[in-house]
Structure 1
Amino acid sequence: MHDTDYDVLAIGDAVVDVIAPTDDALLAEEGLRKGSMRVLDRDGAERLYERMGPAQEMSGGSAANSMAGIAALGGRAAFVGQIGSDQLGTIFAHDIRAQGVAFDTPALDGDVTTGRCLILVTPDAQRTMNTYRGASEHLSVDAIDPAQVAKAAILYLEAYLWDHDAPRVAMKKAADMAHDASRPVAFTLSDIACIGRHRPDFVELVGSGRIDILFGNEDEARALARHDDLDDAIAALAGHVDLCVITRGADGAIAVGRGERVAVPAVPPRALVDTTGAGDLFAAGFLAGHAWGRPLEASLALGAAAAAEVIADYGARPLGQLRHLAAD
């Protein structure tokens, strides 16, 4: 769109991934199930961090990963997420800006620390994740700039933030700002556990007209719609939004809306190294294509291609430019 500064503006968790190799003994001592994800409080996060070996630290967060993907595709992306005035906050801000994403959210002063996901990687390549959201829990309406929302072709919201009152209010307000500016609002269901905690809220949100584009995987779609049959679930959800976009892993993806139903196959990756970030990069490709006015099938195909690229490397963000995918 010619009257926009950004293709997509996202609001989500500002989290730094702290990744370190470990052995099975540490998992046993911590009472962790290999491959699981647990939520930590601040004390628990600090204690586990002290037990970790030398680590690789990189910016993460689902919607932030998607914005990094859009920038790598050659798009214009912006992100709003709360960080603290600490070392991890500095790392997050540097990384996301270095990847070409506009990020202007001021850090919070005081005794507030930036969110982090402590990832323990065992010799069998299994990842066991431990998340402390930290400053993300304090994202407020004051962090949302109505002019920035109005200058984005699409506003993208992340369900992980729904656990806390302040960011939940901020996201609803941002959605209203977008609609006041005649901009569509996209929402990702993020994780089936989020639906377990907030299904009535999500049903109300989708039914309220605040959401125009709904993202989820097939399990999330079934859980939200309460239909075992995927087609029935998609039909139920699509009745409340302009576009319903459902990923199916190795079976590709489906988009339903505006009288169309389009499916694309998954793109075989050049290597299967790490599936972290596949859904985030799929959303990046689809949102970029949609913001650029591409047909549904082309937007789905770009999402599938971006997902295939990120799972071929280590980490949840692209390691290089993806502009060649957008040019295909």
Structure 2
Amino acid sequence: MPHNRYDIVAIGNAIVDVLAATDDQFLSEKNITKGSMQLIDADSAETLYQEMNPTHEISGGSAANTLVGVAALGGRCAFIGQVANDPLGQVFQQDIRAQNIHFDVPVQEATIPTGRCLILVSPDGERSMNTFLGVAQTLHQTAIKPEVIENAEILYLEGYLWDPEVPRSAMKEAIQIARKAGKKVALTLSDTFCIERHREDFKQLINNGLIDILFANEGELRSLVQHDDLDRGIEEVAAKLPLLVVTKGPDGAIAVQDMERTEVSAKKIDQVVDTTGAGDLFAAGFLAGQARNLSIAASLEMGAIAAAEIISHYGARPENDIKTMIESALNISLN
């Protein structure tokens, strides 16, 4: 059997994180609730962007963050997402490729700009996020190249992108290509609002055997099963797919494979600074382990270590060498 070119290919929102320092007066003037996350339109995004202090810009989005984590662990990755032919689209392309992640989706020559999350950081570290999804929500089936999907170990889907109809069709196409090629399909449920809007779709994917690995946090799992008994919900969902992974924040995580349950504790750190990206990097560690055919226990440990590194500082990208951290902690080589 030929060796796969990629460990993980992911489909998700292509968003640029734009960070800038601010103060409470600016937030008040702009009617922005400190520490909140809100969706904004194109005009509001452009106006706010022009009025922000000097910015730091980096490629973002849930699935893209996960791939950066996988790449940091030595994984081979490809990303499928949509940007526009504009300055922030160039930032996304340059940054994601600088992480050694394959990205060749043609830019959109359209009036809709590249998605961005405008993050205002207060002196006390609070992050107020203002998100314009932009052209990311127009990802078309034509962006799905069968040869990329067929040459990956795992196809990873971002639940956020299931919301709009056009990218949902693209993701369905990718699933069919992956299933036909005998590849694994992983889905992260992303957020309870995604489940509230598309619960029956997600259940159908699971019931029809189209998902091999499902990622959810406690709230998302409860929303999916529509009751609050977490253990019963885990059993119900795990019975319908090969591998379920449920993260529980400070209480660690659970994986159930073929109804065999494995747990990991959250890693202790001096201080939780920012939980942004914790789930994304947990998925990165776990998927990197699975792509290397490591045990469920080892994959959970990798996810827990990657998540702990992320919440120890601001931002959703590793600042320390998580590959060395994991190799040392688990006494393994990820080369």
TM range (shorter): over 0.9
For 1:65-214, list aligned pairs within 5 A.
Answer: 65-214=65-214
Partner of 1:31: 31
Cα distance in 1, alignment partners of residues 146 and 294 from structure 2: 27
Deviation sequence 1:50-103 (CA, Å, 0-9, x none): 222211111110000000000101111111110111111111111111111111
Distance 1:93 1:321, change over 3 A: farther
SS of 1:222's partner is helix
The answer as to whether partners of 1:264 and 1:300 remain within 8 angstroms in 2 is: yes
SS of 1:319's partner is coil
Which piece of structure 1 moves more, 167-176 or 126-135? 126-135
The answer as to whether partners of 2:239 and 2:258 remain within 8 angstroms in 1 is: no
The answer as to whether partners of 1:270 and 1:309 remain within 8 angstroms in 2 is: no
Is 1:252 the counterpart of 2:256 in the alignment? no
Query: Please, which runs of 5 or more residues in structure 2 have no aligned partner?
Result: 331-335
Partner of 2:58: 58
The answer as to whether partners of 2:69 and 2:318 remain within 8 angstroms in 1 is: yes
The answer as to whether partners of 2:309 and 2:320 remain within 8 angstroms in 1 is: no
For 1:1-20, list aligned pairs within 5 A.
Answer: 3-20=3-20
The answer as to whether partners of 1:85 and 1:112 remain within 8 angstroms in 2 is: no
Question: What is the TM-score normalised by the length of structure 1?
Answer: 0.96
CA-CA distance at 1:257 after TM superposition: 1.7
Cα distance in 2, alignment partners of residues 166 and 290 from structure 1: 30
SS of 2:128's partner is strand
Partner amino acid, structure 2, of 1:107? V
SS of 2:197's partner is helix
Cα distance in 1, alignment partners of residues 326 and 180 from structure 2: 30
C-alpha RMSD of the superposition:
1.5
Partner of 2:316: 316
Partner amino acid, structure 2, of 1:215? F
Partner amino acid, structure 1, of 2:122? T
SS of 1:272's partner is coil
CA-CA distance at 1:271 after TM superposition: 4.8
Partner of 2:274: 274
Cα distance in 1, alignment partners of residues 240 and 275 from structure 2: 31
Partner of 2:333: none
SS of 1:124's partner is coil
Partner amino acid, structure 2, of 1:261? R
Cα distance in 2, alignment partners of residues 47 and 196 from structure 1: 31
SS of 1:58's partner is strand
CA-CA distance at 1:239 after TM superposition: 2.0
Cα distance in 2, alignment partners of residues 138 and 181 from structure 1: 26
Which piece of structure 1 moves more, 120-129 or 22-31? 22-31
CA-CA distance at 1:202 after TM superposition: 2.1
Cα distance in 1, alignment partners of residues 12 and 244 from structure 2: 20
Partner amino acid, structure 2, of 1:188? T
CA-CA distance at 1:270 after TM superposition: 5.5
Query: Please, which runs of 5 or more residues in structure 1 have no aligned partner?
Result: none
Distance 1:271 1:75, change over 3 A: farther
Distance 1:200 1:27, change over 3 A: farther
Cα distance in 2, alignment partners of residues 28 and 241 from structure 1: 47
The answer as to whether partners of 1:302 and 1:325 remain within 8 angstroms in 2 is: no
SS of 1:129's partner is strand
Cα distance in 1, alignment partners of residues 136 and 208 from structure 2: 25
Which piece of structure 1 moves more, 306-315 or 155-164? 306-315
CA-CA distance at 1:260 after TM superposition: 1.2
SS of 2:133's partner is strand
Which piece of structure 1 moves more, 136-145 or 201-210? 201-210
CA-CA distance at 1:9 after TM superposition: 0.4
SS of 2:267's partner is coil
Cα distance in 2, alignment partners of residues 55 and 268 from structure 1: 32
The answer as to whether partners of 1:12 and 1:62 remain within 8 angstroms in 2 is: yes
SS of 1:155's partner is strand
Deviation sequence 1:227-254 (CA, Å, 0-9, x none): 2011011112112211110001111000
CA-CA distance at 1:2 after TM superposition: 5.9
Partner amino acid, structure 2, of 1:151? N
Question: What is the TM-score normalised by the length of structure 2?
Answer: 0.94
SS of 2:107's partner is coil
Deviation sequence 1:162-182 (CA, Å, 0-9, x none): 221110000011011000000
The answer as to whether partners of 2:222 and 2:233 remain within 8 angstroms in 1 is: yes
CA-CA distance at 1:3 after TM superposition: 2.1
